[in-house]
Amino acid sequence: MIGILVISHGNLGDSLIHCANHVLGEESPHLTYLSITNKDDPDAVVPKALELVKQLDCGDGVLVLSDICGATPCNIATRLVSPGRVECLAGVNLPMLVRALTYRNEPLAVVRDKALTGGREGVMRIDSRPQDAI
């Protein structure tokens, strides 16, 4: 099973995990978040992030999801990458996390790719409301 770590600003990671568990109807194991504030020193946070990766890795690897590419959470996540063992995607959203959780028993590369497409395909324009909607 692939471990999943969400590194994000504030409570976003906690909220995404809570919502994903609601959607899936169960609490997901080997899934946690690391909250980053504007007071955190990235150099001081990286060891904590590495420890979380170690705890989450059941032997199949860890997928790290961060919020904004180029922001502090992503910069921390980038320092965790170890190709084939720890992969990272930026721009986390709920469809991405749900897709990663759905396929997490597949190899890490598959989970990474499924999460990426889930995140992309989960963003769409809604043209109009259905006629029967209130």
Domains of the chain, CATH where assigned: 3-121 (3.40.50.510)
**Average pLDDT for the chain:** 95
Spell out the residues 6+ positions from residue 80 whose beta carbon is closer than 8 angstroms to its own.
5, 46, 49, 50, 53, 62, 64, 86, 88
> pTM score, two decimals?
0.93
Q: What is the pLDDT of residues 24-72, one digit of tens each?
A: 999 999 999 999 999 999 999 999 999 999 999 999 999 999 999 999 9
Give dist(CA 28, CA 129) in Å, integer: 33
CA pair distance 38, 3, nearest whole angstrom:
26
Distance (Å) of CA 116 to CA 48, 71, 92, 132: 25, 19, 9, 33
pLDDT for position 129: 74
